[in-house]
Amino acid sequence: MSLMSRATSTTARVAASSRSPGPEPRTRLARTGSWARRAPLLPAMIFLVVVTQLPFVVTLVISSFSWNSLDPTSRHFAGLSNYARVFTDNELRSAVGTTVIMTVSIVAVSLVLGLIIALLLNRAFLGRGIVRTLFIAPFLLVPVAAALLWKDALYNPNYGLLNGLLTWVGQLFGSHHPAQPDWLSTMPKTAVETSLIWQWTPFMMLILLAGLQSQPTDAIEAARVDGAGPLQIFRYLTLPHLRRYLELGTLLGSIYIVQNFDAVFTLTSGGLGTANLPYSIYETFYQAHEYGQASANAVVVLVATIVIATFALRVVSSLFREETQR
Amino acid sequence: MTTHLPTVASAPPPTRNPRHRLPQPPSARRRKGWNTAWGLTAWGAGLFFFLPVAWMVLTSFHSETDAATNPPSLAAHLTLSGYREFFGSATGQSPLPALINSATASIGSTLLVLLLAVPAAYALAIKPVRKWRDVLFFFLSTKMLPTVAGLLPIYLFAKNTGLLDNIWLLVILYTSMNLPIAVWMMRSFLAEVPISILEAAQIDGAGLLTTLRRIVAPIAAPGIAATALICFIFSWNEMLFARVLTGVAAITSPVFLTGFVTGEGLFLAQVCAAATLISLPVLAAGFAAQDKLVQGLSLGAVK
C-alpha cells in the first residue's frame, strides 16, 4: 500500500507543481493551527486504514502459509510456494484473461453505445425527459436482480423472452421450428457481457450527456457558419471536448466492472470460462477452503491492480488539474 | 428509422401561410424533419433499452403458467400471486427480515459515511490541509484495490469475534466501501462555497458553528443529499460481503434474492416480483434525483 500512496503522491505533486507559484489564496483562513485543520480528517483516514488496509497486510501473511481450513492441523509456513502455484495455475490464468477481456469489452462497448445515446438525447424532442428516464432504469436495477432477470426471464431457452421473440419472428415467416438457442451455454461470455453492457451503458450515457451539455454552443455555430458538416463538427469539436468525460467514464466503469461478482455468480456460477478474478478468489476461499492459496492469488491481483491503478490515478489527476485550481 | 428521412427531407413544401410574416426557409424545415426523425430514433432506442425492465414488471404480475409460455403471452390476465409468493405464502420464508437488514445496513452505513466524510471534506475544501491533493488521492486509491483481496482476513476476524452473521459488521464494511467516493463527492460540493463569503463571515465575527450552520450547510445540502443517495444505492446493491459474512439472521435482500430461486417448478413470476420489489427503493431514489446522480457519480468532475 505504501508503494501505491507514494506513487499517487508523486502524481499529485506533479499536478500541484503545475499551478502558478504564488501565495495560497486562502491566507486569511490559513491562520488556524495545522493540527486543528487536520483533526477533522483523522477519523475518516484512521477508519479507512483500519478497515481496508489492515486486511491486506493479513492477506499478505496468510499467503505464506499452506492452510486448508478443512484440515486445520496441517497449517504450516510454506514460504513462497503458494506464489509458485499462482503462476502455474491454469484456472487463475484463465480468470485473469476473462477479467481483462470482460472489463475491456464491457467498458468499450458501453462507452460507444453511451456516446450514441447521449448524442441522441442532446437534441430537443418531444418527451426527452421520459426517454432519458427509460435509459437510466437498467442502471438502477439491483445488480443481482438484473442478473436474475437476464438469466431466467430473457435467456431461458424454454420460455425466455429472447427465444419467445424468435418464435414470433419465425411464425411471421411461416417457420414452425425457429431456432431456440440456449444462450447461456452456447455463448456464456457474451451473455454475461451483454447483461453488464446493458447495465453500464446508462452510466456512460449520463456522464457523456453532462459533457455534451457543457459544450459551448458558440463555437459550434461558428463552425456551422463556416460550412462545417455535422461529422466534422463531431470529429474536431465535440470529440476533443468529450475527452475528459470519456476518460472519467472509462476509469469509473473499470473500477466497478473489474470487481464484478454478482453477474458472474448469478448467471453462470463462474462456469464455462466466465470465472473472473473476484469470482475465482471467492471460490478458492469459500468453496475450496484453500486459505493460503486464495490469499496468494489475492496478493497477486492486488499488486497488478496497484500497477494499473497508478496509471489510472495519473489520468484522474490530469482530469482534476483544472478543477483544483483554487 | 432512417428510411423515413428521405421522404421527410424531399417532401414538397406545403403552401405557405400568408399570415406568417417570416416564412420558414426550406433548410429550417428540413432541420425540423430531422428533429422528428431524431426524436423517433431516441424513443425507439429508449424503449428497446427499457424492454427488459418492462418485461420484468409485466411478468411479475402474471401467473406462473402465463409467465412460462413460448411465444410469450402479453395479454394474460394480471394477478398478484407472484408478490404473494414472494412474501412467503408458498415457502413460509418471509423476505421482511432481509429487507429490514438491507435497510439497516444501507441507512446505517450512509449515516456513518456522512459523519466521517463531511468533516474530512471540510478539511480538504474549506480549510484545506497542506498536501490536500495527496490525501484526496489516498482516499481514491483505496477504492481501486479489489475488495475480494481483503475478504478472507475480514471473514476470519468476524468468525473469531462472533461478528459473523451480524448486520453491524456490514454497516462498518459498507461505510469503508463508500467513504472514499463520498469524500471526493463532498469535497467537490463543499468547494463550491465561495471563499469570500466565508471570509466575510469570519470578519463579522461568526464562529465556526454559525458559519457551518448558516453558510456552508445551505449551499452544500443538495450535495450532501446526492452523496447520501449514492452511498445508499451502493450499499443496498452489495452482495459479495453480504454473501460471505452473513448466514441466516443478517442476510440482506440481494442474498435473499439469490437463495430465493430453488430451480424446481415454475418460478419466473416470483423471481420477477422479487427482483422488482427489491429494486424499487433504488429505482425510486434514482429517478427522483437523476441530475444529482450524474454530478455525484462523476465525483463532482462533471457539473
**Cβ distance of B116 and A44 shorter than 8 Å:** yes
Residue A282 has pLDDT above 60, yes or no: yes
Domain residue limits, chain A: 2-14+33-319
Q: What is the DSSP string of A276-316?
A: -HHHHHHHHHHTS-BHHHHHHHHHHHHHHHHHHHHHHHHHH
Q: For residue A298, give the nearest of B116, B148, B188 by CB distance.
A: B148
A66 neighbors A292 (Cβ within 8 angstroms): yes
Out of A54-68, B94-108, B247-261, give the one with best mean pLDDT: B94-108
Residues 6+ apart with CB under 8 A from B218: none
Considering only alpha carbons, which residue of chain B is nearest residue A154? B52
Arithmetic mean of pLDDT, A192-207:
93
Mean pLDDT (chain A, rounded): 81
Q: Alpha carbon A181 to chain centroid distance?
A: 30
Separation of alpha carbons B213 and B203, rounded Å: 17
pLDDT at A1: 39
Separation of alpha carbons A99 and A119, rounded Å: 30
A54-93 burial, b if ≥16 CB within 10 A, otherwise e? ebbebbbebbbbbbebeeeeeeeebeeebbebbeebeebe
In terms of Cα–Cα distance, which of B79, B63, B74, B72 is closest to A158? B72
**Cβ distance of A123 and B38 shorter than 8 Å:** yes
Top residue of B152, B293, B299 to mutate, by most chain A CBs within 10 Å, is B152
List of chain A residues whose C-beta atoms are within 8 Å of the C-beta of residue B130: 34
* pTM score, whole prediction: 0.82
In terms of Cα–Cα distance, which of B284, B277, B245, B280 is closest to B88? B277
Out of A72-76, B140-144, B232-236, give the one with best mean pLDDT: B232-236
Chain A: nearest CA to B248, how far in angstroms? 17
Residue B162 burial (CB count, 10 A): 8
Arithmetic mean of pLDDT, A37-49:
88
**Cβ distance of B254 and A262 shorter than 8 Å:** yes
User: Could you tell me which residues are beta bridge partners of residue A68?
Assistant: A290
Separation of alpha carbons A242 and A245, rounded Å: 5
Beta-carbon pairs below 8 A across chains A and B: 358
**Cβ distance of B290 and A146 shorter than 8 Å:** no
Domain residue limits, chain B: 30-93+261-277, 96-254
In terms of Cα–Cα distance, which of A49, A251, A315 is closest to B297? A251
pLDDT at A6: 42
User: Could you tell me which residues are beta bridge partners of residue A66?
Assistant: A76
**Cβ distance of B179 and A123 shorter than 8 Å:** no
CATH tag, A2-14+33-319: 1.10.3720.10
pLDDT at B137: 81
The values of phi and psi at residue A76, to 5°, are: -150, 160
**Cβ distance of B153 and A59 shorter than 8 Å:** yes
**Cβ distance of A298 and B116 shorter than 8 Å:** no
Amino acid letter, residue B241: F
Question: Using one digit for the tens of pLDDT, what is the confidence trace for B12-71?
Answer: 444 444 445 555 566 667 777 777 888 899 999 999 999 999 999 999 998 877 887 777
**Cβ distance of A127 and B119 shorter than 8 Å:** no
3-state DSSP assignment of residue A76: strand
**Cβ distance of B272 and A298 shorter than 8 Å:** no
Question: Using one digit for the tens of pLDDT, what is the confidence trace for B197-209?
Answer: 888 888 888 888 8
pLDDT at A323: 52
pLDDT at A131: 92
Q: Alpha carbon B244 to chain centroid distance?
A: 23
List of chain A residues whose C-beta atoms are within 8 Å of the C-beta of residue B155: 285
Chain B: nearest CA to A295, how far in angstroms? 7
Arithmetic mean of pLDDT, A225-249:
87
pLDDT at A322: 54
Residue A8 has pLDDT above 50, yes or no: no
Question: Using one digit for the tens of pLDDT, what is the confidence trace for A149-185?
Answer: 999 889 988 888 888 888 888 888 877 777 888 888 8
Superfamily of domain B96-254: MetI-like (1.10.3720.10)
Top residue of B129, B130, B145 to mutate, by most chain A CBs within 10 Å, is B145
Arithmetic mean of pLDDT, B113-119:
93
Q: Which residue reads 471473514 in cell numbers? A: B155
Of how many residues is chain A composed?
Answer: 326
Separation of alpha carbons B28 and B34, rounded Å: 10
